[in-house]
Structure 1
Amino acid sequence: MEKVRKTDEEWRAQLTPQEYAVARQKGTERAFTGRYWDTTQLGIYRCVGCGTPLFASDTKFDAGCGWPSYFEPIDPARVREERDISHGMVRTEVLCNICDSHLGHVFPDGPEPTGLRYCINSVSLKFEPIENE
């Protein structure tokens, strides 16, 4: 997978101000305000920055936290984890491994089969529904 690299000006032109603040500046949307936190439709959640398929709806679950939560990515190679010590906490940040967009954080309190909860900002994602035939 080839890395997507853009200038700050290119990112600002492509993304909305809120998308830019979260994806490029590591911001966080408020809980229960994002466009996908309660979406139950079948589909694929893609990176807002580069369109890479990151999470499938069949791995999404209601964690009660107010952000879309998934127990695993479509392909672990498409996400990268980094230690995050901001805001006086120690967490594991999740980024798109293709364009380096900030997605959210992963926690070890999710359901089986992985026990993980990928807590992802809606604004970092674009949803592509799967049409029922």
Structure 2
Amino acid sequence: MAYEIEKSDAEWRAELSPEEYRVLRGAADEAAFTGTYTDTKEKGVYSCRACGADLFTSEEKFDSRCGWPAFYDPKDLESVEVQQDASPYPVVRCARCGSYLGELFEGEGFATPTDKRYCINSLSLRLKPGNSD
């Protein structure tokens, strides 16, 4: 799939830390309850750590007690893409650069407007504090 931001593997490795590369480009998950943003309540916009695209806001973040930051909707539906691959749950990627963000779960009974849980790795995100508009 073609993305707005295309870089070689070497370019991504040069720009990202080894752990960021493992998650964002290698589609690995960080260990549960270890991420920077798991329990963060600060207001702002969560952007893709690889390309800077705005993905989620603090307004859609909720405490799912799953060990990773959880959001019930992206900032804009076009900011993320959801792909069904060989994994049991749909994979969530940045629509701008294709970096791996996490997985999407639906129908778990959370009292949110969508009953969706975008379970996202902290290493895939960077919080820009402030207004989440």
Give the TM-score taking structure 2 as reference length.
Answer: 0.92
How far did 1:85 drift?
Answer: 2.2
Given that 1:46 and 1:52 are in contact with CA atoms closer than 8 Å, whether structure 2 keeps it comes out as yes
CA distance in 2, matches of 1:18, 1:111: 33
Q: CA RMSD in A?
A: 1.2
Q: Is 1:125–2:131 an aligned residue pair?
A: no
How far did 1:84 drift?
Answer: 3.1
How far did 1:78 drift?
Answer: 1.0
CA distance in 1, matches of 2:119, 2:85: 14
Structure 1 unaligned spans of 5+: none
2:104 to 103, 106, 111: 106
Q: Is 1:20–2:55 an aligned residue pair?
A: no
- Which residue number corresponds to residue 91 of structure 1? 89
CA distance in 1, matches of 2:113, 2:69: 18
Q: Deviations over 1:34-84 (max 9, x none)?
A: 110000000110001110000000110010001000000001111111113
Moved over 6 A (4+): none
**Residues 23-102 of structure 1 mapped to structure 2, 5 A cutoff:** 23-86=24-87, 90-102=88-100
Which amino acid is the alignment partner of residue 19 of structure 2?
Q
CA distance in 1, matches of 2:113, 2:65: 19
Which amino acid is the alignment partner of residue 50 of structure 1?
C
Which amino acid is the alignment partner of residue 102 of structure 2?
G
Which amino acid is the alignment partner of residue 107 of structure 1?
F
**Identical residues among aligned pairs (%):** 46
Give the TM-score taking structure 1 as reference length.
Answer: 0.92
Structure 2 unaligned spans of 5+: none
Matched residue of 1:84: which SS? coil
